Amino acid sequence: MNYRHIYHAGNFADVLKHAVLARLIVYMQQKDKAFRLLDTHAGIGLYDLSSEEAQKTGEWRDGIGRLLDAELPAPVATILAPYLDAVRSLNPEGEITLYPGSPKLARMLFRPQDRLSAMELHPDDSRRLARLFEGDYQVRVTELDGWLALGAHLPPKEKRGIVLVDPPFELEGEYERIVDGLARAYRRFSTGVYCLWYPIKRGAPIAAFHEALKALEIPKILCAELSVKSDRDLTGLSGTGLIIVNPPFTLKDELHAALPELKRVMAQDRYASHRCFWLRGETTEAERQRD
Ligand code: SAM
């Protein structure tokens, strides 16, 4: 396990993933009933962007760094507000030095009744995450293989929940593992909202991955992708993708509004692009005409 998220925290992929996670949480909170977030690959929760590691790659500068400085149209600012307000509140002096990972962001948005189960396999990272939430009865951190949690930890006892699967993709076969993991999890918890992350770069088997997801008997699967540069540029990722199962009915429209702005703000060359479409599900007549 060589992957350390500190090198990538706050980059364009984190921005899209965390902005969507915040929307999913806000949506869950439209009902008073409690929900649980199962974060299968949780990381350390809080990232110091002034650290040597984060400064070495500087990836956050082209992600959250650009977004915080950007002028956004009012509707998009509203969509991104739960996410950006959380980031800003960690950095009251203005200049950004702290960036919330998925468990910390979620916890910042929680109401008293909401719960987080966070899995992290790396012993050091798991210990750091546990320390971050020490004494917090709303959070349980477990040093565990997140893929196992997709079986044993579902359904949550609240019967309402979001499952975030954000693996490091350092091993072969991670796309297949996501498909298998989703199939297993969905059998146990078909009403859950799932958010699955995947990288986009030259040679990545995206089309086969999408086909495999389509072949699952899951009626509602939304896909959102943002590429910030041409995949001919082989340094780092060219793009980022999210699969959202059982998305809130408003999410596609929100992404339709936000993705062009995220592209505009974080593009690294003129080949930047975005798309958002149903892999499985209803495309309404209005969407068909607009898309
Ligand atoms: N979800 C985090 C966020 O958004 O802030 C970032 C997670 S990072 C991309 C992936 C994390 O998964 C790393 O911290 C890594 O140590 C951990 N990891 C790797 N394999 C794992 C496994 N099988 N189960 C749980 N965690 C794992």
If you average pLDDT over residues 4-23, what whole number do you get? Answer: 97
DSSP H or E segment with residue 139:
strand 139-142
If you average pLDDT over residues 34-51, what whole number do you get? Answer: 98
- At residue 48 the predicted structure's pLDDT band, cuts being 50, 70 and 90, is very high
Measured on CA atoms in the order 180, 106, 84, 78, is the torsion positive or negative? positive
Whether the per-residue pLDDT at 288 is higher than 80: the answer is: no
- At residue 234 the predicted structure's pLDDT band, cuts being 50, 70 and 90, is confident
Higher pLDDT, 8 or 233: 8
3-state secondary structure of 94: coil
Largest CA distance in the chain: 52
Whether the per-residue pLDDT at 200 is higher than 90: the answer is: yes
Number of domains in the chain: 1
Q: Do strands 273-280 and 221-227 pair parallel, antiparallel, or not at all (unpaired)?
A: antiparallel
Whether the per-residue pLDDT at 261 is higher than 90: the answer is: yes
**Ligand 1 nearest-atom number relative to CA 101:** 5
If you average pLDDT over residues 215-236, what whole number do you get? Answer: 94
Please give the Cα distance from 134 to 125 (Å, whole number): 14
- 247 in contact with ligand 1, CB cutoff 6 A: no
What are the pLDDT digits (tens) for 151-187? Answer: 889 999 999 999 999 999 999 999 999 999 999 999 9
Residue with tokens 């997801």: 213
d(CA 42, ligand 1 centre) in Å: 5
Please give the Cα distance from 121 to 238 (Å, whole number): 27
Pairs from 25-33 (Cβ < 8 Å, separation ≥ 24): 25/82, 25/106, 25/109, 25/110, 25/114, 25/162, 26/82, 26/109, 27/193, 27/248, 27/250, 27/251, 28/114, 28/160, 28/162, 28/193, 29/109, 29/111, 29/114, 31/160, 32/113, 33/113, 33/158, 33/160
If you average pLDDT over residues 184-202, what whole number do you get? Answer: 97
Residue with tokens 């005409």: 289
Whether the per-residue pLDDT at 217 is higher than 90: the answer is: no
* Alpha helices by DSSP H, 189-250: 206-215
Whether the per-residue pLDDT at 284 is higher than 90: the answer is: no
d(CA 242, ligand 1 centre) in Å: 16
Write down the pLDDT at residue 291. 63
- 59 in contact with ligand 1, CB cutoff 6 A: no
166 is catalytic: yes
User: CATH number, domain at 68?
Assistant: 3.40.50.150
Residue of 272, 28, 251, 52 whose CA lies nearest to 156: 28
Share of the chain above pLDDT 70, in %: 97
What are the pLDDT digits (tens) for 88-129? Answer: 999 999 899 999 999 999 999 999 999 999 999 999 999 999
If you average pLDDT over residues 263-286, what whole number do you get? Answer: 91
- Non-local (6+) Cβ contacts of 124 within 8 A are none
**Ligand 1 nearest-atom number relative to CA 197:** 9
- Give the ipTM: 0.99
Catalytic residue (choose from 39, 166, 269, 291)? 166
Write down the pLDDT at residue 285. 64
- 145 in contact with ligand 1, CB cutoff 6 A: yes
Please give the Cα distance from 16 to 116 (Å, whole number): 21
Write down the pLDDT at residue 250. 95
Structural domain including 60 reads: 5-290
Whether the per-residue pLDDT at 282 is higher than 90: the answer is: no
Write down the pLDDT at residue 203. 92
For the record, the structure tokens of 230 come out as 């041409």
Tell me whether the omega of the peptide bond preceding residue 155 falls within 30 degrees of 0, making it cis: yes
Measured on CA atoms in the order 196, 101, 225, 232, is the torsion positive or negative? negative
If you average pLDDT over residues 58-67, what whole number do you get? Answer: 97
Residues constituting the chain: 291
